[in-house]
Structure 1
Amino acid sequence: MSESESESEYEAELFVAEREFAAEGVLALTLRHPLGEELPAWEAGAHVDLVLGPGLERQYSLCGDPADRSAWRIAVLREPAGRGGSVQVHEQVGVGGKLRVRGPRNHFALRPAGRYLFLAGGIGITPILPMLAAAEAAGVEWSLLYGARTRASMAFAGELARYGDRVTLAPQDETGLLDLARALDALPGDALVYCCGPGPLLDAVERLCPADALRVERFRAKEQPGDEDEEFEVELARSGRTLTVAPGVSVLDTVRAAGVEVLYSCTEGTCGTCETDVLEGTPEHRDCVLDAQEREAGETMMICVSRCRGKKLVLDL
């Protein structure tokens, strides 16, 4: 977790106004400001950070109504074998309890398209849920294929019922794995595919779908092939300082060791908190946030994992 503050990013202690189970093992929380203040605006695909304690910070997608500025809704899957954040929320956070929240932040925004195919696996339905409402409001044709291990574990299935046959629920114990090839083969050329869920689902979709038509959001870092780390320099444009990034040491750790405070969170290249503008040089992207076009442009990088293709980067720090 970052120890620094960002003037451009909202952070506040909110209270739990509602607490209910959206499915087996999935806890939905409605968060409000204690003084009734409006919360920052957000759009479908956004997430927030829950600051649960020193070194314990987790990202959760907003899955409520963006038009409702009085509350944020998140859903937390209980993962007993995880790193502790979800268990803490399930066991220790009740109605009236307080949570420190930072955000929102959006690296999974819904782009204009002639048609959408939404693919969700398990808790991956959370960022997709408000996208369905946005597509519906825009009058754009869309469909959702939603898989999970069992029907009982499919969060917000009741809310999805109002969309009728545009939603296909596919519990694995009833129908097997999602038929991704069939769903993707039927898409017209002006369609975009939005997918969120476990790593194997995302990997399969990436193999089957053209990169320029696909947007994914990962909850876990993806294994990134790459050459052995080499030393390079980072010039900090705001101060004129030049630092050496050693093999096996991240840009983030290097600048923090030099006393430069930057906002960061996951340190795995999945949340986008540490995204930094690149003024000169070519990044070697190792994150799971930027899409193919953004990587090619090389205008920003996630300094917690990405490195340099060359000898030097100039960053807006």
Structure 2
Amino acid sequence: MSRYLLLSKKTGQLGNRLTVFAHCLAAARERGFRLLNPSFCEYAPFFTGPSGSLWRMDEPRASRQGIPMAERQLGYALARVAWQSAKLLRHASLGTIAMARARNEVPLDLRDVLDAAGPRCRLLILQGYHFRHHGWYRRHDAFIRTFLQPAQPWRAEGDAAVAELRRACAVVVGVHIRHGDYRQHLGGRFFFPVSTYVRFMTEIRRALAPRTVAFLVCSNAVHADDDFAGFVWRRGPGHLVSDLQALSRCDFIVGPPSSFSSWAAYHGGVPVLRVEDAQRAIDLEDFQVDPTPHPLY
């Protein structure tokens, strides 16, 4: 009899949802569960694996392209009903229904979560962002990278943006400026002014000399052309997923802690520096490659 792992609630924006999706996909493959992820509904059309599926998102399904968004939203609504219903039904399910909720910033180990569900469990419903298992992830990394790669035309748009910069310079550095929601997020702790990013860019260019450096600036805010005067630079393509792909094609990525740029760095194998202190100096030795999706927060 099949066993199902259901991600029942949207957790933040694209980077967050890719991260928890990927770790739960690894857990499902490791333990023989089928992964249901209607919480990825509005992003599913932009990624090769999920684009062909309404509910089950653990293997490519080319037969259902062009699923109406209304169907995806209905699937998510049913997942929310399932979570609420399971609060009562699990007590009478004889162990066939289980639930787990990640309530805070301390990650829950998916091995512990699946073990606690027990061998009789046929439906395990998860809610929350902080579910992880890096060991399982490493074993299923190749499949997940392919399954969660951006679909066309967004992948090509990202590739083209970086290719344009490579024709001008030897090194391309992705700069992720997180404004917008970061003005309030964690009390504005990682909301850095444009002048701070300009200093980062200046120090990176100096550290990489004599190689020529171009910058790809991706942001959720609008910036003036002269904000980065004196640099070889261009904006990201402009679509959320095209920007994600473009960052993943850079040689380095710098920005505040963010699951968005962390995913791009992981997926592209790009050294990333997550800046927590706006006053810090930039040292190339501090850029690191993440072998699994691992945002700081």
Q: TM-score, normalised by structure 1?
A: 0.27
Structure number with the higher helix fraction is: 2
Q: TM-score, normalised by structure 2?
A: 0.28
RCO (CA 8 Å, sep 6+): is it higher in 1 or 2?
Answer: 2
Structure number with the higher strand fraction is: 1
